[in-house]
A and B are shown apart, each in its own frame.
Chain A
Amino acid sequence: MRSADYVIKRVAIALVTALVAVTLNFVIFRAAPGTAVSDLSQVPGATPALRQSLKREFGLDKSKWEQYGIYLGQLGHGNLGRSYQDRQPVLSDLGAALANTVPMVALGVVAAIGLGILTGALFAWRRGTRLEQLGAGVTIALFALPGQWLGLMLLIVFADVLPSGGMTNDFLIDPSFWTHAKDVLVHMALPALTLTVALYGGYTLIVRAAVLETLGEDYILTARAKGLRARTVLRRYALRNAMLPITTHVALSLSYIVTGALLVEVVFSWPGIGRAIYEAVIARDYPLLQGAFLLLTLSVVFCNLVADLLYLKLDPRVTG
């Protein structure tokens, strides 16, 4: 029963956070100076009549409260408006961008987590040794490197070996499935690697700390006293226990992953949601910006909820 309370509470919190996000989103954008109208009127030949009709089209002539009502109603129908840039529904533009972002980011993040677990556990196990001191130094140094700079460094090193930008070689006309998949992977290499290196340091430190924490626990002592091999103890007891805080941390690090992805996409011209935000800022494409920000916030809220619920499954003693 208490776990049911916990679930309800968590879901309620997530819903409230989502509503705050939705409202704040509206406030930020409607407090913004300048509207699409003045941008479109930059076209020579636009007249006050045209501007007026555009205002009507985007509902910019109504009161803020009415606009908020319209906004909520449209949101309920999954309508995030039309992009000022290409006049297509924001949701379809963002959907396409997100589909490009997710595989690249997933590759980079999964690699970072995998490497982080391996070396983090190793450093914790070998605490106090030269290896650990060196490793800790390297990881701290790595996570202090700005992602955009790291990307440029990799561009310098791999400029002639790997593609410098974009997601595909568009000049491959009608590629077969495998040619295409290989092409995408090759293009993905540098941005994903940048993300991996940039995130790796942080994850290693987390894993190392979490494993160190469990290594100090009594059951480890018990396990060792039972005469189990060190490696077994590490893998079966210490690391497995450490997985709990690690999972939470990964969920919480989503906001930094978004940051990293945005910078990496700009450096490597990756046609994902980060670059869409970047281009939308330049073009003052408010509907797209608003949609992108909302989508990102809601997905982070959702992932955190998942982590919270996962926690319950991993450790039933955690209750509201």
Chain B
Amino acid sequence: MSTSLPEVDVGVAGPGAGGSRARLRTTAMRRPAAIGGGTVLGFFILVALLAPWIEPYGVRQNAGPVFAAPSASHWLGLDDAGVDVVSLLIAGTRSSLLVGFAAALVSTFVGGAVGIVAGYFGGVTDAILMRVTDYFLVIPDLPLMIIVAAIWGQSVWHIILVIGLLHWTWTARTIRAQVKSIRERTYMRRVRSLGAGHRRVIVHHLLPEVAPLLLAVGVRAVANSIFAAAALAFLGLGDPTAISWGGMIQHAFQRSAVSSGAWWAVVPPGLCIALVVVACYLLGQAIADILNPRTRALHLSARRFGVLPLSTSSRQQR
């Protein structure tokens, strides 16, 4: 559950995935879920950017008794150190999104690179890279993250790296499938027969083609990363001095907020995580749908959700 969400199979996009940008715009208008997701995510990003200016109280400031109930001056009460929960949520938005986006960037980069190299070169390279990917796909990632975070020590950058380096498998598989199909297109063959180097083909012809797809998987990776960061923080392996949603839940848990009846210290951070995750999911879904012409064509039919297990699609391609 927590570190990975069911995955959308967008890797089977057939010919004609190009020119997707215009389609992106028009289809987005027709999909309220995408607009909703985008708005929510946009809202949180705005909050994160403006955090220092819109926090009503200091996040290290003892504003009253520990676990004080919500009141007119503190809408969501005070936490286990007597700090205003609304201010903490706002500050937490910043670090949670930072970890989410940065880790997603890492995983998209690694996954994209692996996927492009495997899909483009094929053969032994592909086989080896896919074996590695298979391994990372099956290992229980949270235990490994715990171990690595415990060994490396707990700074924000370590957390980002740990999450990013363990969550790239799905990206790699999706991108690989896409690259394979693009590779076989006539114009790609022509480009290569004209003697263009591998680097040139990848940078100038492949990358622009897979970029929108990378965006789609990247947005979903943000959700996964936020989930994983919250899980690590809950286990006491997050950055202890940063204020994050996962850390708020951990503090509340460690200092017995639940048995003290201080629901306001536990409920809001969890809801924020859920909101961002749903927003990323819907947005990623929308982008994926737009990119996958089959999904689009069968808009109201079977493939609307297009969710398929990975191994099904990969096996079909072998």
Contact = CB atoms under 8 A, between A and B. Distances in A.
A143 B138 contact: no
Nearest to A143: B5
Contact of B139 (A32, A248, A297): A297
Contacts of B291: none
Nearest to B223: A144
A17 B131 contact: yes
Nearest to B130: A13
B143 A212 contact: no
A281 B146 contact: yes
B208 interface: no
A155 interface: yes
A202 interface: yes
A202 B1 contact: yes
A29 B143 CA distance: 13
A146 B305 contact: no
A267 B252 CA distance: 12
B1 A252 contact: no
A56 to B, nearest CB: 24
B281 A149 contact: no
Interface in B266-318: 266-267, 269-270, 273-275, 277-278, 281-282, 298, 300-312, 315, 318
Nearest to B227: A146
Contacts of A32: 151
Contacts of B3: 256, 259
Given A140-B281, A209-B307, A255 B147 contact: no
A17 B300 contact: no
Interface stretch (B50-58, B84-92, B228-236): B228-236
A166 B303 CA distance: 44
A224 B9 CA distance: 28
Nearest to B305: A209
A292 interface: yes
A252 B133 CA distance: 13
A156 B274 contact: no
Contacts of A202: 1, 5-6
Closest 9 CB pairs of A and B: A216-B302, A149-B270, A209-B307, A144-B277, A258-B140, A259-B142, A260-B1, A249-B309, A198-B1
16 contacts: A13-B131, A17-B135, A145-B270, A146-B234, A146-B270, A146-B273, A147-B231, A148-B230, A156-B263, A198-B1, A209-B307, A209-B308, A215-B302, A255-B138, A293-B147, A304-B138
